[in-house]
Structure 1
Amino acid sequence: MVLKCSPIQLAHSVLLTLGIIWLTPVWAAQEIRVGAAHFPPYTVRPERGADTGLLSKLLNALNQLQSDYRFVLVPSSIPRRVRDFERGRVDMMMFENPAWGWQELSYTAVDMGLEDAEVFVARQNPDRAQRYFDDLSGKRLALFSGYHYAFAGFNSAPKFLTNTFSATLTYSHESNLLMVLRGRADIALMTRSNLIDIQRYDPKVKSQIMVSERVDQVYRHYALLRLDAPIKSQEFAQMLNNLRDSGQLRAIFGPYQIDVVAM
């Protein structure tokens, strides 16, 4: 049996089909997977699914800036992030530095124009002055496991740090600071931005600690892109420039004394 359609029914069917085509996007935003390892205040426990760090704020700004790409956060960890990048689980890592264990991999680096620093922190003592930080020998250090420190020649191997510097390694700046305050460690190495963040939430800490004028390192942040990443380095650099020119980078990072500098 052959079903027949009236001209009106046929026209209605054609218009409905065209309407569906017109309502369907011609293209969808390309997803860019950004690795997120716990690195406060940049990334805060991303594995819990409710990251409140600076990386999330930056990704939101990037997504609002344009519609060609959608930047999404993919939880990783400090020890695992290089392997995740190498295996293609993520397309990009931000707030990195080529000297931090990336020497054997192929990638494109984009200067983010952001600078932070690592400082020494000790418990406040009337008899202590800045010279206390001049010599680290014989002092118990509290360090973040997996971090690359200038005083240690950027060697992050746990055995080297524990044997050479009597270091205790943790995965928390807060724990390292508590070790200093409770007398279980003499000096903690802390990211300046993270120390500022802790003091904002617990102001009494400021009167209990002495922060070094000596800086272990000033580090420049880079974004590392896989060679086959969906986005090109030039495109991403231009996005960062747009956020810098609009003042959004300074609004995100300025409160943590992370310097927004020329690329």
Structure 2
Amino acid sequence: MVLKCLPIQMAHSLALAFGMIWLAPVWATQEVRVGAAHFPPYAVRPERGGGTGLLSQLLNALNLLQSDYRFVLVPSSIPRRQRDFEQGRVDMMMFENPAWGWQALSYNAVDMGLEDAEVFVAKQQPDRQQSYFDDLDGKRLALFSGYHYAFAGFNPGPTFLTDTFNATLTYSHESNLLMVQRGRVDIALITRSNLTDLLRHDPQAKSEVMVSERIDQVYRHFALLRPEAPIQGQHFARMLQQLRENGQLVAIFAPYKIAVVAVEPF
């Protein structure tokens, strides 16, 4: 005997099926692609894979905090990151600042409440004082290629930096510090968090270099979200606030002398 569905039963079944289809995306975890450019200690050679750097630690904390979104790391680079963002290859860039070449792009900025700094480093000399850092004229500089420095008017152009400031450009703070130790350059500019990490692992270098009290710039870190990103700015700001309140931001960033500060409500 063949059983036939009554019309009302069939309508109910179809309505239930369509309802499940419409509800499925609401239940699904949404993926948020976070761009990672080499910026130690925040992101360390992301193109090589592995979960090194503070960004990976932060993404892990965000993923453990909730299940609505899954934050995944997408390798990028300092010169390519704006193009990846504009073309939608990534949804978000963290540890950024709107002044670092983002002026022509559309984004939603979230203050991460994290502050770092760029400092000057020179070789320790018996008669050398902090006044050594007051004037950069005539001094050989080691800079990280692609960085925006305040003393240079935030112009990252390689030709401009080499011609105007007698700068050597590299992709390694470690190499720049080594050039200072060996006398190949007079001053290197190094991100304070990265310098903290380098000196922690090389006690000899700590006794050989002098760190400036002068600060080139303070990094106030922002997360920049594409307007079409799966997550809205206020939702991401709320997650960061939860990590701030439960102490995880301090646990991740304080060991690198990155200040965790209060932010205005989004």
Question: Structure 2, unaligned stretches of length 5 or more?
Answer: 4-19
Task: Tell me the equivalent position of 2:137.
Answer: 137
Distance 2:111 2:144 in 1: 24
Distance 2:168 2:185 in 1: 8
State the one-letter code of the partner of 2:235: E
**TM-superposed deviation, 1:253:** 0.2
Distance 2:39 2:232 in 1: 25
Distance 1:3 1:164 in 2: 88
Is 1:56–2:50 an aligned residue pair? no
Task: Tell me the equivalent position of 2:228.
Answer: 228
Task: Tell me the equivalent position of 1:219.
Answer: 219
SS of the aligned residue for 1:112 comes to strand
Q: Do 1:32 and 1:230's aligned partners in 2 also have CA atoms closer than 8 Å? A: yes
Percent of aligned pairs with the same amino acid: 77
Task: Tell me the equivalent position of 1:95.
Answer: 95
Is 1:149–2:149 an aligned residue pair? yes
- 1:1-263 correspondence runs (5 A): 27-263=27-263
SS of the aligned residue for 2:216 comes to strand
Distance 2:219 2:30 in 1: 31
State the one-letter code of the partner of 1:126: P
Distance 1:76 1:119 in 2: 25
Distance 2:205 2:52 in 1: 22
State the one-letter code of the partner of 2:44: V
Q: Describe the superposition over 1:21-69 as per-residue Cα deviations: whole angstroms up to 9, x where unpaired.
A: 9xxx873210000000010000011111113100000000000000000
Distance 2:84 2:178 in 1: 31
TM-score, normalization by structure 2: 0.89
Distance 1:147 1:59 in 2: 24
How many residues in Structure 1 have an aligned counterpart in Structure 2? 243
TM-score, normalization by structure 1: 0.90
Distance 2:150 2:135 in 1: 14
State the one-letter code of the partner of 1:115: E
State the one-letter code of the partner of 2:199: Q
Distance 1:3 1:160 in 2: 83
Distance 2:51 2:216 in 1: 28
**TM-superposed deviation, 1:219:** 1.4
Q: Do 1:45 and 1:51's aligned partners in 2 also have CA atoms closer than 8 Å? A: no
Distance 1:166 1:180 in 2: 14
Q: Runs of 4 or more off by more than 2 Å in structure 1?
A: 25-28
SS of the aligned residue for 2:163 comes to helix
Question: Structure 1, unaligned stretches of length 5 or more?
Answer: 5-20
**TM-superposed deviation, 1:202:** 1.2
